[in-house]
Amino acid sequence: MAKRLDIAVWWNLPTGGARRALFDHAEGLVARGHRLKFWHPPVPSPDWMNPDGFGDTQIVELAMEVGGQGYVGRVLRHLLRSSAQMKAMLAHSTVCGEQIALAGVDLLFANTCRHYHAPFIGRTVSAELPKVLYLQEPNRALYEADPELPWTGLASRRARSPQAKLRAAWDIAATRKLAREEHDNAAAFDTILVNSRYSQESVRRAYGINSTTCYLGVDTEKFRPSGKPDERYYLSVGALVPSKDPLLAVQAVAESGPNPLPLHWIAPYVNPDFKQSMVALADRLDVMLHVHELVDDEGLVQAYQGATAVIYVPKLEPFGYVSIEAAACGVPVVGVCEGGLRETVLDGATGFLSERDAKALGASLAKIAENDSLRTDLAHSARKDALARWQLPNAIDRLEAHLQQAARK
């Protein structure tokens, strides 16, 4: 019989898939008799998928703001922000580490940090305490060109004034320090778990450290087909930010035919300027666009159930929660053949994957929308795949096994 564990959980996540994953993990572990104690700084949207209800919680202060007024103050704030914020996070983590040492727990289960991805907490807890990190992704801004790598010095080359050149050079130095600190943070953990084989490769590429794939899951009783005909619209889910590439989704819908189905977009976070650009593009391309913000689970499930197809085109998505939620609801996914989507979408069976090209994506959408028999076959295969590979209890099995193994070590 598996040992009941006392687990210290540290987290600092925004709304979105990573917090949903932690919520599911916490709920599943408590249901199996494990006891959780939570530590975290104040977090945005504290009422959204908050796992704190599954155990005692300590909210520890984190002062990330760097002051300064006027021009000189703004310059100093820019130059000192990175170093000061790292010191603040280290101070926060030190307090958490001291409290965890007195809590009588069997291990630390840390999660991705919204500020630093690989968190500082692994360096501040007792060396004797086993430390497990569920890392959704490395800090992609440091290692992916979007639109350019921060190390290249392109910003410095474009700078015209001495002040701009100095600022660009300082930014490179701060970026290098951040990368060093995050490497040391990741190396402080005994076990790093990731959400996909692709993420496993990303961690190796970024930090030179081994990790283990521990796939996530979805509640297939909550996310399930409605049994009713689809309501003739396309759906996408994700923050309205450039990394989710919503402009490409709009272009793909426009390429799906002369009278494309409406596109509904559900967003846990909206960048107002980017939303404005997206709406303008949809108007120009005659795409009927509806943006819905902070939809609850019931509304999300209903949106999946009514969709003809889900279009999902984020850039190098590490895993792809949306694709397994859609599959569980019996909805085919049209996505890009990159990142974790190559593991969550079975091309030709549960949906279609293509190059990052609006015409190719639009052709796949049209194929599904215009062929009821094909859509039915894809829907049945998607639901079957969700039940075979992505059920939430199986995901908790995998996580629990890794935590038990870490505790024994």
pLDDT of residue 1: 57
Architecture of the domain spanning 6-217+393-408:
3-Layer(aba) Sandwich (3.40)
pLDDT of residue 173: 85
Distance (Å, whole) CA 396 – CA 409 = 20
Give the tokens for residue 111: 């999660």
pLDDT of residue 147: 83
pLDDT tens series, the chain, 409 aa? 578 999 999 999 998 899 999 999 999 999 999 999 999 999 988 988 999 999 999 999 998 765 555 544 555 455 557 888 899 999 999 999 999 999 999 999 999 999 999 999 999 999 999 999 999 999 999 999 888 888 887 877 888 888 788 788 888 888 899 999 999 999 999 999 999 999 999 999 999 999 999 999 999 999 999 999 999 999 999 999 999 999 999 999 999 999 999 999 999 899 999 999 999 999 999 999 999 998 999 999 999 999 999 999 999 999 999 999 999 999 999 999 999 999 999 999 999 999 999 999 999 999 999 999 999 999 999 999 999 999 999 999 999 999 999 999 8
Task: Return the number of other C-beta atoms located less than 10 Å from residue 5's C-beta.
Answer: 20
Domain ranges of the chain: 6-217+393-408, 234-390
Distance (Å, whole) CA 266 – CA 249 = 13
Distance (Å, whole) CA 226 – CA 92 = 46
In 262-320, the DSSP E strands lie at 263-267, 289-293, 309-312
Homologous superfamily of the 234-390 domain (CATH): Glycogen Phosphorylase B; (3.40.50.2000)
pLDDT of residue 167: 80
Check for a shared fold between 6-217+393-408 and 234-390: yes
pLDDT of residue 395: 98
pLDDT of residue 72: 45
Distance (Å, whole) CA 255 – CA 24 = 37
Continuous segment of H or E residues that includes residue 112: strand 107-113
Distance (Å, whole) CA 114 – CA 62 = 13
